[in-house]
């Protein structure tokens, strides 16, 4: 069930269901674009931004994109973002305003990292922003397959199985 306040933001901000889980609304797409940036197939906007909302009974499944993604905290509870980096390392990020307990109001997930997110244990929902440059295109968006990701990050198999849908 979606908490009342989260439903308020979903309705007011006209958010749509995201294939990775959660809700989103694109809020910015630069008028300008760049043709064939490195590793991209075709033209991309210089930059894009979204609102993203996640509730406790849902999660954003492991996926990757080709741009760095900057996350911004807006409202609600803290968000944990799990990053599996191209060098094989794992980083647990905490987005939020509880600075004494390791949360950060902004953070960056590196281009090509696999990442997944969930509302912190025992908490309810959160509203954040995500900006990327070059801009987001579903062409560059890849959902993880748990078996393949598990082969590359064997020590993280429990986390991967919990936060994938394929």
How far apart (Å, rounded) are the C-alpha atoms in residues 149 and 156?
9
Measured between alpha carbons, how far is residue 35 from residues 32, 40, 45, 46, 47 in Å?
10, 9, 9, 10, 13
Q: Which two tokens stand for residue 56?
A: 């406790």
Q: How far is the CB of 73 from ligand GUN (least distance, A)?
A: 15
Q: Classify the C-alpha dihedral 42-17-119-12 as positive or negative.
A: positive
Task: Tell me whether residue 68 or residue 157 sits nearer to ligand GUN (CB atom).
Answer: 68
Task: Tell me whether residue 41 or residue 98 sits nearer to ligand GUN (CB atom).
Answer: 41
Is residue 114 involved in binding ligand GUN (CB under 6 A)?
no
Contact track, ligand GUN, 53-92, x by CB under 6 A: ----------------x-----------------------
Binding site for ligand GUN (CB under 6 A): 24, 26, 48, 50, 69, 130, 132, 136
């Amino acid at each position: 069930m979606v908490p009342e306040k989260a439903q308020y933001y979903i309705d007011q901000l006209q958010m749509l269901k995201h294939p990775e889980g959660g809700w989103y609304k694109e809020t910015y797409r630069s008028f300008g674009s760049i043709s064939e940036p490195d590793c991209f197939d075709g033209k991309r906007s210089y930059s894009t931004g979204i609102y993203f909302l996640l509730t406790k009974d849902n999660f954003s499944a492991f996926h990757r994109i080709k741009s760095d993604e900057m996350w911004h905290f807006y409202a609600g509870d803290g968000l944990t973002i799990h990053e599996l980096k191209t060098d094989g390392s794992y980083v647990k990020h905490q987005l939020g305003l509880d600075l004494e307990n390791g949360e950060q109001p902004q953070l960056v997930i590196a281009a090509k990292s696999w990442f997944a997110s969930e509302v912190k244990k025992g908490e309810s929902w959160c509203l954040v922003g995500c900006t990327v440059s070059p801009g987001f295109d579903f062409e560059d968006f890849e959902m993880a397959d748990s078996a393949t990701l598990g082969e590359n990050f064997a020590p993280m198999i429990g986390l991967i199985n919990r936060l994938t849908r394929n």
